[in-house]
Structure 1
Amino acid sequence: MNTLQWLDWLIFVGYLAGVFTFGLYMSRRQKTPEHFFLAGKQLPWYAIALSLFATNISSGSLIGLAGDGYRVGMAVGTLEWGALLGLLLLAFVFLPYYQRSGVFTTPEFLERRYNLTARLIFAGLIIVFEMFVFMPFVLYTGGLFLHVMFDLPIFASAVVIAVFVGVYTTFGGLGAVVWTDVVQGLAMLVGGTLVTILALVRVGGVGQLARQAPDHLHVCLPPDHPDYPFPATMIGGYLLITIYFFCQNQTIVQRTLGARSEWDGRMGAVGACFIKLFLPFVLILPGVLAFVLLPDLEHSDHALPALIAEVIPTGLQGLMAAAIVASLMSSADSGLNSWATIFTYDFYHRLIQRTASPQRLVLVGRLASVVLLVVAVCCTPLLEKNPSILQYILVALAYFSTPIIVVFLGGVLWRGATPAAAVTTLLTAPVICFAAQQLHKFITWWPAQTVYWMPLGAAMVASVMIIVSLFTRRKDARSLEGLIWTWKDTFTLEPQLTRRRGVPADTASARAATRPAVWHDLRLWGAVALLLMCAIIWWLR
């Protein structure tokens, strides 16, 4: 399907060269671990919002969402709209405690709340997941896109992508990652909007689309739908995956920890909600349009690259190819940097060399990035036989995220959660989740869909957490100070605004400064995002 002309190649190569150069330029600033791993804590809210979006939407998401849009329809959009709940939980529940505790990683927070063992188990789970599941998924889908668009071998494409991303991420650190994410996030939005508009024009408009694919435009599918039953996609297992992905996932949380203030970090999460509202119309709707224009595709995951080749004219295909590769690079560089951070701080610095110099920590982080890329590239061929890459990653996340959600929610919301219970939960949860997934073969009423069995599995895991906590020793109240969620810290307006300005919250000048700044109220914008989400779902029901 190689249809690119010289102008397309010029745009495509020029974009990649620009990102590569920018990443190397940013690497000159990474002199300390705080700069390399947390961007010197100088990130503004708008950069965080765009980086959260770009990190979340990988090439796998672009291809997978459009593919399931082709196969199922706009109901897949409930995954994106449901993500608002996870982002708001991050902004209003988890992030204040991450920021105030001064941690570099989410596993480090578990040590503060529970003990070192809980931290190491969680860090180990993240390393395994990133190395054998997430990074191979990202590299494979990037290689798949280049294969469908340019007839390039999937594995060779994955190797080239890994080398390209590895160079600017390994040397640039989080600062390079986030600021390139800003550029790449904008490229994705522009590219997705372009292909949607041109495909919609080719179909004949919204009315013609509704006549040719009426079933693909409904969001609320029956509760027994095998993949996207409504409302379970919003409040069932996928909600749990969303909570993990946005509230405990180091790749996401690390961006907010690099904020220049607590307000910027939290507003970045709220700002990302508004981008999420728009995404199904530029990521999933193209799959529905491909269903009308290209009804005979052999594989639904080929919908997006095939649609690009069909409707995008010469001169713009290079821009679209750059937008897809941008999504790949954003997820790959983010996963790479967060994995290096966890390995460096949760294993090397915590267990091997407590007195390591800042330069040594940065070097270890860079070497860890190289190891991850090599292993991930070797694992990419294993994904070729999956019928739906989106369902593959969702099932993998169901296993991985369930114990983490229970341990974090229990730790932040309940003083009675004990270190022994956290460790027991993390160790036994995989077996419990496997049982929850397989029980439908032995119990007729037990659900087979991930969206249903995952909440039941989470309830079983939570039962283990509660029972063990009741019979083991909890940490003393003093050690938990500042780690347990309260309404006051989360929803009080004044501390949000004073922290943004860097003014002590208990001064008269701070109180005076906060009064007129209603537009900075996180509660207001969070409520607006939720209302818009409900309105969109009602419109497409």
Structure 2
Amino acid sequence: MEAFVSFGLCTLLIAFISWYKTKSTNLRTVKGLLLAGKNNGYLIVASSLILTNLSANQFIGENESVYLNNLSVMAWGITSVVAMLLVSEYFLPIYFKGGMITTPDFLAKRYDEDTKRLVSIIFLLSYTVNLLPPVLYGGAVALTGMFHLPSLWGISYWQSIWLLVWLLGLIGSAYTILGGLRAITISDTLLGIGLLLLAIVLPFYGLRYLGKGDLALGLTLLLSKHTSHLNAIGTAQDAVPFSTIFTGMLLVNLYYWGIEQYIVQQTFAAKNLKEAQKGMALAALSKLFMPLLINLPGLIAVHLYAGVENTASIFPQVAADTLPNTLLGITTALVFGAAITTYNAGLHGSSTLFVMNLYLPYLEKKHKTPTETQLVRTAKRFELLLSMIAMIAAPFILFVDSGFYTYLQRVAGLFSMPIFTIIVVGFINQKVPPIAAKIGLLFFMVAYFICEYILVLTIHYLHILAILFLLTVFIMIAISFCYPSKNTKAISINLSHSLVVPWKNRHIVNVVLLILMVLIYIIFSPFVLAS
């Protein structure tokens, strides 16, 4: 009962503060609803980036991977620091100078409106298939395990997943539809504080439980037994081989932090480029500490449980067994909030793409001028439609026979890397024509689908992504030699100068972050802890 009470109080407190801080924002305008009034400072930007990135999928998927393999899965978070710093230095200035609301806006300026529309549709398809349903499913799995709901309610595991998927979906929809991006970013900040505390509390209780009440003994056991699980240098047999860090993983992380709409929109809501860059740096620092929260429970589980049948339940099982009831309730509220905030951001990013890139251009083509009220109403209706689709589809992920987190990343490559490729080529080469972008998109998607789901290849999917990236770049540049683009104008600056002044201390901070990243890898390697 204590766990349920603390869960309810924590969830309601976050919701109340989010509502209170949002009520002064005009949500009847596109700027107010979709860009949070464009008034967020770096602390809110950083919190929004981390909480939008951090969903129950990572709590579930990464701890499962650590239990089954080793710490190599932490590369997704730790090495994302490199991508985040590159995005901060090179991508964000282009976005802010261009006054962009969605990342496909760049494609319209660089290629043409047809390319922008095509990519917007691919984005929406990706969110519908590989973002919104998995987020709901991951949250449902976590809540089911933490509260042991099937036995508590006297229902099956399948029924519990269905009920919780709809609970998460309805609450997430209400947050997004009623509060807009401002409510999302405020709740993200509050949840960020809570997760920071959880990153301290969960290891403490988990290690003490492992040591049967002795924290030092628990830590000693963790570092002295099953040391192969402490290795972050993955082999070819692991979920994340070390070599993939330098190929497909770098590309995927660059796409995620620099192009993925529901992530990048958090920086678009910043007051200016300086605040956005500071927020990205603080978020990068947070990523270096994330293994304490989303990997350590998996390590503890290696010592506590043998032969777990449903490995997706590793994180909730560790939390339920090691935390006091009150803290378990608060932890569940934070995981619940992390699931909802990613779901919110996905819904919000989808409606922004649909309204600004598809619906509004359609009306303009029909020579119709919509009011702000019409656009806002359409955005909310589209969010509701997507939410219904996601809630129906999510429970069926239970029947996926591969590892949950690996499944997500493999499917994501089908949508993300083609978009990333044509945007990067657009950044570096002004002569590539619109037809090359369309051919590049089609080639990459078809080739990746064939390599992953038709052919039986032994090469890791992240290496396949890197190879197809290079092939697609070559094809696009080859086309540009035959049919060079006539539109070679640089993106014009249509924002006031003060909004695009970069953060002057960013280079010093970037070097420190990179050094810390390398040190973490050295510590979790056969040279130190995994010896």
- With normalisation by structure 2, the TM-score equals 0.90
User: 2:175 aligned to 168, 183, 186, which one?
Assistant: 168
The equivalent of 1:309 in structure 2 is 320
Kindly report which structure 2 residues correspond to 1:75-86, keeping only aligned pairs within 5 A, or say none.
75-86=72-83
SS in 1 for 2:3: helix
Structure 1 residue 520, shift from structure 2 partner: 4.9
The equivalent of 2:510 in structure 1 is 526
SS in 1 for 2:79: helix
Output the CA distance in 2 between the equivalents of 1:447 and 1:457. Answer: 16
Amino acid at match of 1:475: K
Q: Is the 8 A contact 1:200 1:289 kept in 2?
A: yes
Output the CA distance in 2 between the equivalents of 1:158 and 1:32. Answer: 30
Amino acid at match of 1:379: A
Q: Is the 8 A contact 1:139 1:328 kept in 2?
A: yes
Q: Is the 8 A contact 1:169 1:177 kept in 2?
A: yes
Amino acid at match of 2:69: V
The equivalent of 2:155 in structure 1 is none
Kindly report which structure 2 residues correspond to 1:233-382, keeping only aligned pairs within 5 A, or say none.
234-353=245-364, 355-382=369-396
Q: Is the 8 A contact 1:226 1:449 kept in 2?
A: no
Output the CA distance in 1 between the equivalents of 2:392 and 2:305. Answer: 33
Output the CA distance in 1 between the equivalents of 2:357 and 2:130. Answer: 20
The equivalent of 1:509 in structure 2 is none
Amino acid at match of 1:122: V
Output the CA distance in 2 between the equivalents of 1:212 and 1:436. Answer: 39
Q: State whether structure 2 residue 133 is matched by structure 1 residue 122.
A: no
The equivalent of 1:492 in structure 2 is none
Output the CA distance in 2 between the equivalents of 1:425 and 1:268. Answer: 33
Output the CA distance in 2 between the equivalents of 1:9 and 1:317. Answer: 9
SS in 2 for 1:105: coil
Output the CA distance in 1 between the equivalents of 2:243 and 2:209. Answer: 33
Structure 1 residue 295, shift from structure 2 partner: 2.3
Q: Is the 8 A contact 2:145 2:320 kept in 1?
A: no
Q: State whether structure 2 residue 186 is matched by structure 1 residue 179.
A: yes
Structure 1 residue 522, shift from structure 2 partner: 1.1
Output the CA distance in 1 between the equivalents of 2:178 and 2:453. Answer: 44
Structure 1 residue 286, shift from structure 2 partner: 1.1
Q: Is the 8 A contact 1:63 1:141 kept in 2?
A: yes
1:21-67 CA distances to partner (integer Å, 9 max, x unpaired)?
34444255223211111111100011111110111011111111111
Structure 1 residue 19, shift from structure 2 partner: 2.9
When structure 1 is superposed on structure 2, of 255-264 and 81-90 the one drifting more is: 81-90
Structure 1 residue 438, shift from structure 2 partner: 5.7
Structure 1 residue 374, shift from structure 2 partner: 0.3
Q: Is the 8 A contact 2:49 2:266 kept in 1?
A: yes
The equivalent of 1:107 in structure 2 is 104
Structure 1 residue 259, shift from structure 2 partner: 0.5
Output the CA distance in 1 between the equivalents of 2:487 and 2:194. Answer: 50
Output the CA distance in 1 between the equivalents of 2:476 and 2:362. Answer: 27
Structure 1 residue 479, shift from structure 2 partner: 5.2
Output the CA distance in 2 between the equivalents of 1:357 and 1:27. Answer: 22
Amino acid at match of 2:506: L
The equivalent of 1:511 in structure 2 is none
Q: Is the 8 A contact 1:263 1:499 kept in 2?
A: no
Structure 1 residue 91, shift from structure 2 partner: 0.4
Structure 1 residue 469, shift from structure 2 partner: 2.0
The equivalent of 2:466 in structure 1 is 455
Output the CA distance in 1 between the equivalents of 2:28 and 2:294. Answer: 38
Amino acid at match of 1:526: N
Output the CA distance in 1 between the equivalents of 2:491 and 2:145. Answer: 53
Q: State whether structure 2 residue 432 is matched by structure 1 residue 421.
A: no
Amino acid at match of 1:215: S
User: 2:487 aligned to 476, 479, 487, which one?
Assistant: 476
User: 1:537 aligned to 518, 521, 524, which one?
Assistant: 521
Identity of aligned residues (%): 24
Output the CA distance in 2 between the equivalents of 1:277 and 1:371. Answer: 37
When structure 1 is superposed on structure 2, of 468-477 and 158-167 the one drifting more is: 468-477
Output the CA distance in 1 between the equivalents of 2:146 and 2:520. Answer: 33
Amino acid at match of 2:164: S
Q: Is the 8 A contact 1:199 1:289 kept in 2?
A: yes
The equivalent of 2:156 in structure 1 is none
Output the CA distance in 2 between the equivalents of 1:50 and 1:350. Answer: 33
Structure 1 residue 440, shift from structure 2 partner: 6.1
Q: Is the 8 A contact 1:8 1:317 kept in 2?
A: yes
Aligned-residue CA RMSD in angstroms?
2.1
Q: Is the 8 A contact 2:63 2:314 kept in 1?
A: yes
Output the CA distance in 2 between the equivalents of 1:292 and 1:425. Answer: 48
User: 1:214 aligned to 210, 227, 230, which one?
Assistant: 227
The equivalent of 1:489 in structure 2 is none
Structure 1 residue 419, shift from structure 2 partner: 1.2
SS in 2 for 1:417: coil
- With normalisation by structure 1, the TM-score equals 0.89
When structure 1 is superposed on structure 2, of 52-61 and 68-77 the one drifting more is: 68-77
Amino acid at match of 1:369: E
Output the CA distance in 1 between the equivalents of 2:493 and 2:418. Answer: 23
The equivalent of 2:7 in structure 1 is 12
Output the CA distance in 1 between the equivalents of 2:30 and 2:440. Answer: 32
Output the CA distance in 2 between the equivalents of 1:461 and 1:432. Answer: 10
Q: Is the 8 A contact 2:15 2:187 kept in 1?
A: no
The equivalent of 2:242 in structure 1 is 230
The equivalent of 1:34 in structure 2 is 31
Output the CA distance in 2 between the equivalents of 1:482 and 1:409. Answer: 20
User: 2:16 aligned to 4, 8, 21, which one?
Assistant: 21
Which structure would you say has the larger RCO, counting Cα contacts within 8 Å and 6 or more residues apart?
A: 2
Structure 1 residue 226, shift from structure 2 partner: 4.2
Amino acid at match of 1:133: N
SS in 2 for 1:244: helix
Unpaired runs of 5+ residues, structure 2, are 151-159, 211-216, 526-531
User: 2:131 aligned to 129, 134, 137, which one?
Assistant: 134
Structure 1 residue 9, shift from structure 2 partner: 1.3
Structure 1 residue 314, shift from structure 2 partner: 2.1
Q: How many residues get paired?
A: 502
Q: State whether structure 2 residue 440 is matched by structure 1 residue 409.
A: no
Unpaired runs of 5+ residues, structure 1, are 1-5, 484-494, 506-513
Structure 1 residue 533, shift from structure 2 partner: 0.3
Structure 1 residue 381, shift from structure 2 partner: 2.5
Q: State whether structure 2 residue 201 is matched by structure 1 residue 194.
A: yes
Q: State whether structure 2 residue 444 is matched by structure 1 residue 432.
A: no
Structure 1 residue 481, shift from structure 2 partner: 5.1
